[in-house]
Structure 1
Amino acid sequence: VIRQGLEQGKFNEVVIIGAGLIGLEVAAALTIWGVKISVIEQQEHIFPAFLDAEIAQNAEKYLRGQGISLLVDEKVIGFEGETAVTAVKTNKRTVSA
């Protein structure tokens, strides 16, 4: 479904909740499609189960350089949209989806 939507140009922005291994792998794979990618993580840094803060900062710098927006230390509190999610609300902002 995601690939089909990307091929048809239906997605301009993608929001991924969770900056663990799977979430960041999906984000990295989506960079080739030229869509805006935002990853929301409630912990203070990415890969919270695997990396300490210092190493995570280096990985975050690399991913941001690839065009991925990393929103760390933010908790998802809701969604907007009637038939599809159009935005994700965090405790700090609203992110278009």
Structure 2
Amino acid sequence: MSITLTDDVRTAIKDAVRQAIEEAKQDTTPNAGSDLITREAALKLLDVTAPTLHDWTRRGIIPSYRMGVRVYYKHSEIMDALDRRDFGRNG
């Protein structure tokens, strides 16, 4: 038994899949009103390397938030950590 799809059905399926993918992307993107920033933006803001940011996140100095496979940081929490200067350094 074989199923043959017409071009119209094939196009409709492709369009539905594209729309579902776009909606899924929008669901995992932080809204414009939040102060979430990407890992790359956090690295630039802190002027540190990725391993350093990972270490600070692991130690709870700067919390991270996952949305799917992406990692975000709150700008306000980064600024608070900078104000505290609590990075586990001596001095």
* TM-score (normalised: structure 2): 0.24
**Bigger radius of gyration among the two:** 2
Structure ranking higher in helix proportion? 2
As a proportion of its length, which structure holds more strand?
1
